[in-house]
Amino acid sequence: MSTALDLALLAASWTHVFLAPYTKVEESFNLHATHDVLFYGVEWASLPKYDHFVFPGAVPRTFVGSILLAWVSTPFLRFAQYFDLLVSKSDIQVAIRLVLATCNVAGFAYWRRSVADRYGRKTSLLFVLITICQFHLPFWMGRTLPNMFALLPVNIALCKLWKRAKNATKPTPAAIDIAIALMVFSGVVFRAEVAILLASTVAQILLSGWAPLKRVIKVGLISAAVSIVLTVIVDSYFWQQWPLWPELYGLYFNVIQGKSSEWGVSPFYAYFTTHLPKLLLASLPLVLIGAITDHRIRSLLIPSISFVFLLSFLGHKEWRFLVYVIPVFNVAAAQGAAYLTTRKLGTIWGRLGFLLTAGCIGINLCATIVWTVSSSQNYPGGDAMARFNEMYAQEKHVHVHISNLAAQTGASLFQQVHTPPYPPWAGNTALWIYNKTENVTPAQLTANRQITHAIAEIAPSNAANSFDGTRFPRGSWKLTGVVESFDGLSLDMNALKRGLTEAWQVLKFVKSEKLAILERAGRRRI
């Protein structure tokens, strides 16, 4: 049963990777950094080829996660290559995302074992069911956001504080030291907001008398010094700036200078009223039941709720800033579900408890299916690149311009399958040019005769079947493909009138044309 539950977590995360293999702009830095480490190596002479130098301007982020992901992925890539599971660079993108997802699943498997030791096997089973039936964690744990690199060490840190015998009153000193060190490392290297979670956790450690202040300060300072030295050495080298501490730079840029507010400001209560319910879905009432019925759950939740409260003082809010504490809330939900399902089924309260638990998990599953389907249809750039690469695979010389929308929605370096650097096993000799120059008008693209193709954005009012030359001259370009993506959901109540066999069609996934694949008219294919 234990192994089966871990495999269920793995299957859920892998399924999301396969259903939505492409990435968006917020994932691009770490994804492209991993690409560059894999293909160019880490020698000084190779650094000018790295994407952040070819396309400068990105706010510095750490290379530590990307280097670790590339190194951990290498043996798995060789294994997949040996069994002919990799065909092109695009397959490598899927493979490294599977590796990242697997690493994060290991953290959740550790959580599950901690829950089993502390609360029992039934709660452990319900923890897995609740986690895999939510959307955000399984979908995103295989994506190269900095938050997903920080998720594993934070998960281990929190587990260290709670993985103990049922009757134990506090964690061991070694467990406390490891927890503090891992959260310090995550905050210093990957995501600065982890420092807020560290502060709320340390407050509980001190107030509960688990460790003396002197020991906490000592462990914190040593781990902070080691983490700072690591990130400064690594990132100063890869960014060729000395000294550079990316997370401190990001903290200054986003918080001190207030640049994060340019991405939107939410009210103070948004985390509690919007983001947390969106992440937990129907598990939220189970969290409340767990907290009411078990004092251990209340103690477990205190640092996480404090973290959400303190984080609310920042104007710019995103769900991913909360991702580290969702496993904690899921433990609470699982314990609440265990309480409800241990009532005698022969009583009205037993039946109601079982129905409430099953209903919450069922609602989560339905919402996750809808979100997964819609999200998998929301990467037009990746779909366009895959179709374009296949359509013109037999040509040796292609120069394609990639629009900004395509670049932001899946057209990553791994999708540039017909240009160097090639994997040694690919056997490809094509010399395509994938051009991502920004702010180029259709007239400029038309005037540049070297450009043979374009993956162009379709204006909302300009459907592909009426692509009438208002943007690209009709005589100069011809339309060879159109890519749609998800716009929203609509209800077709008439489906209910057509009978039960068509009732499932009541929910419609609305899509529209987003990108056009264009070929220069009259060009000679080579």
Structure tokens at 297: 């759950």
Q: What is the pLDDT of residue 503?
A: 54
* pLDDT tens-digit series, residues 328-368: 999 999 999 999 988 777 788 888 888 998 999 999 999 99
Taking a C-beta distance cutoff of 8 angstroms, is the pair 251, 191 a contact? no
Lowest-confidence segment of 118-127, 146-155, 200-209, 496-505 by average pLDDT: 496-505
* pLDDT tens-digit series, residues 466-492: 444 446 777 788 888 899 998 888 876
Model pTM score: 0.92
pLDDT at 274 over 80: yes
pLDDT at 278 over 90: yes
* pLDDT tens-digit series, residues 62-97: 999 999 999 999 999 999 888 888 888 999 999 999
Q: How far apart are the first and last CA of the chain?
A: 57
Q: What is the pLDDT of residue 261?
A: 67
Q: What is the pLDDT of residue 468?
A: 42
Cα gap 144→148, rounded to integer Å:
6
- Amino acid found at 216: V
pLDDT at 495 over 80: no
Q: What is the DSSP string of 220-282?
A: HHHHHHHHHHHHHHHHHHHHT-SS--HHHHHHIIIIIS-GGGGG----TTHIIIIIHHHHHGG
Cα gap 236→231, rounded to integer Å:
8
Q: What is the pLDDT of residue 440?
A: 84
pLDDT at 465 over 50: no
Structure tokens at 46: 């190779």
